[in-house]
Structure 1
Amino acid sequence: MIYPTRKAILTMAAGLPVALLFGALTPAGWLASPCWIAGFALLLVLDGLLSGSRSRLTLDLPPALFPAVARPGQAEFVARFGKGNVPGRAEAALAADGRLGLSSAVARAPVQDRAARLGFAFTPERRGSAILHRLWVRWSSPMGLVWKQKVFDLDQAAPVSTDLQSVHEDAVRLSARDALFGAKTQIEHGEGSEFQALRDFQPGMDRRAIDWKQSARHSALLAKEYRTERNHHIVMALDCGRVMSEPVGGAPRIDRAINAALLLSWACLKSGDRAGLFAFDSAPRLSTGVVAGMDAFRALQRVAGRIDYSSHETNYTLALTTLAGQLRRRSLVVVFTDFTDSTAAELMVESLGRLLRRHLVLFVVLRDEELESLLEIEPVEAEDVARAVVAGGLLHERDVVVSRLRRMGVHIVDAPAERIGSAVINAYLDLKRRDLL
């Protein structure tokens, strides 16, 4: 496609009044307007011929894209000009699926060595099948009177998945600081309540660990050595209903919960416990059961990728009753959910109360900093006051429910969305250290 620039249109429009003035002042002046139009059209053609050739323009596609939710990325296209004149700059516009979250659909770059590198930054907002549909590349002629444009049909798939890279990075950081039981052999000793071995009592050791009966038998002070308990069952119950599909901190709540659940699964499997995933909305959607060993972590990753967004309201009674029926022994149930009304909260509290009769429950609350910020904004208009009142009411209702759960014996994790993974890990380690599992 070839079309005039704004500069060409303004120049043409500026010359027409002058040509009309000549036509009004002289008998032969009426020829000025057609001559001006024909001459300017010829100038446009010549200017267009001197610019880069459309037929010789080729496009290098970016490598296969596998973006992750809330993780910034970039798709870089390279437009290569063939033989002939080369423009100084090139512009491009990209049409892509909305869930890819393009920062800007337009990119500009200088042409160096007959190539222009056109980069499009993006931050995906939701998981799913995203597609790069089409790319428009255009450049101007030497005098800036003509745009030349070429369209490339891409149809390149860019499936948006769970941010497993952040899970891997967090796991590496946890391993580096030796925060997990089992990261080193000596960390296992003395941190739990499972008997490991007898050893000679040394100054500084806890006197309560002395085994007096064995010490009398061997005529030497012997102390019991313990190790961390293993083979506990940890189940991550993920609410993927309508409320959890809404964003917090730039990503849907369910994606934040999936990342935290996978990180907790990695910690559990690393420490010798068993981990499993359970997803639900209006009905149970998937359940892995509890698995053991680090090789099972890949299976949990694949299953987590199948958790979809839902527009259904969450049915806590059906979901948690089904989960309780699947658990054959006492387990730690980590519930990732959120609520917006008192009715849903009442049903959730009732269902968690039944689950508490046999199991240990850890309730994870994603703190909404955007909602909290509405209370701190200085009101200027009546709408600001209304928003602050509504936000304050929602936060108060949440605090009431959380306090009620805490009195029931539910352990609470309340942290910003960006730090929910490490907060859940710390809560798990604290429960294990206190021998509550």
Structure 2
Amino acid sequence: MILPARRSFYAVGANAVVALVTSVLPDFIGFWYVTVGISLLVAFADLLLVVTEPAPRGERVVPHSLPLGVKRTVRLRLHNTGKRPLTMEIFDHFPLQVQATGFPLRLELAVGTFAEPLYDVTAIERGKLNFPCLQVRILSPLQLWWHDLKLPVVSETKVYPNFAAVAQYALMATDNHLSHMGIMKKRRRGEGQDFHQLREYRAGDSLRQIDWKASSRMRKPISREYQDERDQEIIFMLDCGHRMLAQDDALSHFDHTLNAILLLTYVALRQGDSVGLGSFAGQNRWLPAHKGQHQVQQMLNALYDLQPTTHAPDYTQAATELLVRQKKRALIVLLTNLRDEDLDDLLPALHILRKRHVVLLASMREQALDQALDVPVDNQEDALHTAAVQHYLASREATLDRVRAAGIRCMDVPPPELSVNLVNHYLDIKRSGLL
């Protein structure tokens, strides 16, 4: 496509001025003909030059994976394969699922050289993304025309749940600073469920840790040291129903849930446990429990294109299917957004699961509810609104009390606090020996 540049409008304006003068002074009509003729010849020659010159060669370097909601850099590379310096503007055709800044890019490119402009993208939706082409506008030698080209530079990438929290956890685990995230490791020295080793008695060891037979043989106090049980299984039951479409901030409740699953997966695998996943309510997927850090990648691949649906969750059917697939006793983490009307279906499903497994119900509470209680009450309308919110929260707490009364652990937290609370509950369950 050929587009007029700024100098083309200047040329048209100059010819218009000459035409205006000619209308007043007819003797200048010959001069006007010459001016118009020269302008057309120059414009045509300039057009011919920009159309016939070789197009620049373009490349794009996109990260193989993008974390949701995190800014990442895309690098372009433009090579000048022609015989003259190029002035160009660049616009990349990025997918609608990302937000990009920095366009259009303007470059001055000497003969035989290349440039590597950068721009930032932020993914706002998970899944597979396609960058179809790169659009370049090249200014003609006399700067009368823009030659608009679409270079067939195709790139693909995948947007995963935000794994930045996992990287942060790994760093803190290395530095022994887990408490910075709010994850509390309450292990007391030498205590756990599985026998680990014998060692010399240390001040602070409890008497029940002392191995009296070994102490008599060695003629000095010997203590048993235990570690948390390993080779246990954690299964996530992920609700993909319409309640998970709720959104308080930049991320939906569903995306917060995926981030929490990813973090707990990493923690559980580090503890020597196996992790699996089952989803329901319109998106039925099953990933069997496995050990090893490669399971993090398997979990990412299972989750990256998973989206909430408009279906209503059927907890009983999901629990029945899980019992068929998961025979070994496991910690079942059910992630959902609980409502009072769900309890009649949810409670029987939890009872079904509790017969064979340890169950943890993780429900997310809308932040708007907590924020509404912080608003000052200045009039009757504010008072009624605050009272309605408090009534709703009290009803919600009563629902959770019924779940707890059935012997099922549960938590109800705002979405941003889900990850840390989920990890803390998992660590508490492991150390309590329930599994």
So what's the TM-score if we normalise by structure 2? 0.75
**1:263 alignment partner, SS class:** helix
**2:269 alignment partner, SS class:** helix
Counterpart of 2:345 in structure 1: which amino acid?
A: L
| Aligned residues of 2:190 and 2:224 also touching (Cα < 8 A) | no
Aligned match of 2:127: 128
Aligned match of 1:319: 318
| Aligned residues of 2:256 and 2:415 also touching (Cα < 8 A) | yes
Post-superposition offset of 1:429: 1.3
Aligned match of 1:347: 345
When residues 52 and 80 of structure 1 are mapped into structure 2, their CA distance, relative to the original with a 3 A threshold, is farther
Whether 1:140 aligns to 2:139 is yes
In the TM superposition, 1:324-403 aligns within 5 A as 324-339=323-338, 342-344=340-342, 346-356=344-354, 358-366=356-364, 369=367, 401-402=399-400
Aligned match of 1:280: 280
Whether 1:170 aligns to 2:165 is no
**1:436 alignment partner, SS class:** coil
In the TM superposition, 1:81-120 aligns within 5 A as 81-87=80-86, 89-103=87-101, 106-111=104-109, 114-120=113-119
Post-superposition offset of 1:297: 5.1
Post-superposition offset of 1:421: 3.4
Deviations 1:211-242 (A, max 9, x none): 78998999976655433223333211122234
When residues 327 and 178 of structure 1 are mapped into structure 2, their CA distance, relative to the original with a 3 A threshold, is farther
When residues 307 and 21 of structure 1 are mapped into structure 2, their CA distance, relative to the original with a 3 A threshold, is closer
Aligned match of 2:183: none
**1:428 alignment partner, SS class:** helix
Within 2, Cα distance between the matches of 1:392 and 1:110? 62
Identity %: 24
Aligned match of 2:231: 231
Post-superposition offset of 1:152: 1.0
Counterpart of 1:97 in structure 2: which amino acid?
A: P
When residues 373 and 151 of structure 1 are mapped into structure 2, their CA distance, relative to the original with a 3 A threshold, is farther
Aligned match of 2:72: 73
Counterpart of 1:232 in structure 2: which amino acid?
A: Q
Deviations 1:362-405 (A, max 9, x none): 233456557866887899xxxx99x9999999877766655654
Within 2, Cα distance between the matches of 1:12 and 1:402? 76
**2:132 alignment partner, SS class:** strand
Moved more, 262-271 or 246-255: 246-255
| Aligned residues of 1:188 and 1:227 also touching (Cα < 8 A) | no
Aligned match of 1:155: 154
Whether 1:269 aligns to 2:286 is no
Within 1, Cα distance between the matches of 2:28 and 2:392? 77
| Aligned residues of 1:337 and 1:364 also touching (Cα < 8 A) | yes
When residues 115 and 45 of structure 1 are mapped into structure 2, their CA distance, relative to the original with a 3 A threshold, is farther
Whether 1:60 aligns to 2:59 is yes
**1:264 alignment partner, SS class:** helix
Within 1, Cα distance between the matches of 2:273 and 2:188? 13
Within 2, Cα distance between the matches of 1:351 and 1:332? 15
Within 2, Cα distance between the matches of 1:34 and 1:370? 72
Moved more, 326-335 or 98-107: 98-107
Post-superposition offset of 1:332: 1.6
Superposition CA RMSD, Å: 4.5
- How many residues align? The count is 423
When residues 106 and 414 of structure 1 are mapped into structure 2, their CA distance, relative to the original with a 3 A threshold, is farther
Aligned match of 1:191: 191
When residues 375 and 115 of structure 1 are mapped into structure 2, their CA distance, relative to the original with a 3 A threshold, is farther
Post-superposition offset of 1:81: 1.9
When residues 296 and 86 of structure 1 are mapped into structure 2, their CA distance, relative to the original with a 3 A threshold, is closer
Counterpart of 1:257 in structure 2: which amino acid?
A: T
Deviations 1:295-329 (A, max 9, x none): 65555454445745544332222112322444435
Post-superposition offset of 1:137: 0.6
**1:126 alignment partner, SS class:** coil
Post-superposition offset of 1:94: 2.2
Moved more, 159-168 or 123-132: 159-168
Counterpart of 1:343 in structure 2: which amino acid?
A: E
Within 2, Cα distance between the matches of 1:58 and 1:220? 78
| Aligned residues of 2:58 and 2:134 also touching (Cα < 8 A) | no
Deviations 1:88-147 (A, max 9, x none): x53112223322444466333443674343334222233333221122111334665422
Within 2, Cα distance between the matches of 1:23 and 1:333? 89
When residues 24 and 301 of structure 1 are mapped into structure 2, their CA distance, relative to the original with a 3 A threshold, is closer
Within 2, Cα distance between the matches of 1:43 and 1:393? 79
Aligned match of 1:184: none
Within 2, Cα distance between the matches of 1:214 and 1:203? 18
Counterpart of 2:430 in structure 1: which amino acid?
A: K
When residues 231 and 78 of structure 1 are mapped into structure 2, their CA distance, relative to the original with a 3 A threshold, is closer
| Aligned residues of 1:238 and 1:254 also touching (Cα < 8 A) | no
So what's the TM-score if we normalise by structure 1? 0.75
**1:362 alignment partner, SS class:** strand
| Aligned residues of 1:279 and 1:307 also touching (Cα < 8 A) | no
Within 2, Cα distance between the matches of 1:96 and 1:154? 11
Gaps of 5+ in 1: 181-186
Deviations 1:145-182 (A, max 9, x none): 422322212333334345557535533533442869xx
When residues 320 and 282 of structure 1 are mapped into structure 2, their CA distance, relative to the original with a 3 A threshold, is farther
When residues 270 and 90 of structure 1 are mapped into structure 2, their CA distance, relative to the original with a 3 A threshold, is same
Post-superposition offset of 1:192: 1.3
